[in-house]
Amino acid sequence: MAKLYFYYASMNAGKSTTLLQADFNYRERGMATMLWTAALDSRTSHAGIESRIGLGAEAHRFDAATDLWARVSAANAVEPLACVMVDEAQFLSPAQVWQLARIADEAGIPVLCYGLRTDFQGELFPGSAVLLGIADSLVELKAVCHCGRKATMNLRIDADGAAVKAGAQTEIGGNDRYVALCRRHFSEALAGAAAP
């Protein structure tokens, strides 16, 4: 029975690297996969998924209007898919998460989603909230805070490295805009940040 998986973590935990390793494992055995990533993430040098350690692969891009059920079903009709993998899954809409569940349930294709659980204010992303609620398997990947504790939070920082308390939920960036911290250091950084 195919399942819907959600691999979640803070920044710098190796989510994209883990996805790319899983994709390699399927393809090495001659199995077809379909990779997806958020269209709004324009940091990559090509239309695909790139990890911070330099691995990369081509991927389809989804936005709010993408019907994942229709697109995956059409691809599966041409070449049977062994797995569907989604990077930046926090940017999925709730409806798209349900489409991915349908792919697992009705098409019998495992779906592996990788993404952030919470934003820079500690709030759940809508896509992550639904994944946490309906995924068959939840797997937490680990990142490390500067203190050595498990990093579970994503602190947004400005150009000077100061904590940012307010703003849009989605602002694309890497190590220049976000720092993975344990809850204690995240809370301390926000408490010391200037009011917006």
Choose the catalytic residue: 50, 79, 88, 171. 88
Separation of alpha carbons 98 and 54, rounded Å: 32
Separation of alpha carbons 22 and 33, rounded Å: 10
- Would you tell me the crossing angle of helices 94-102 and 126-134 to the nearest 10 degrees? 30
Contacts 24+ apart (CB under 8 A), 64-70: 64/93, 66/39, 66/96, 67/99, 68/36, 68/96, 68/99, 68/100, 68/103, 69/99, 69/102, 69/103
SS3 category, 55: coil
Residue 97's nearest CA partner among 60, 132, 123 is 132
Separation of alpha carbons 137 and 100, rounded Å: 14
Q: Active site includes 140?
A: no
Bridge partners of 33, per DSSP, are 83
Residues noted as catalytic: 88
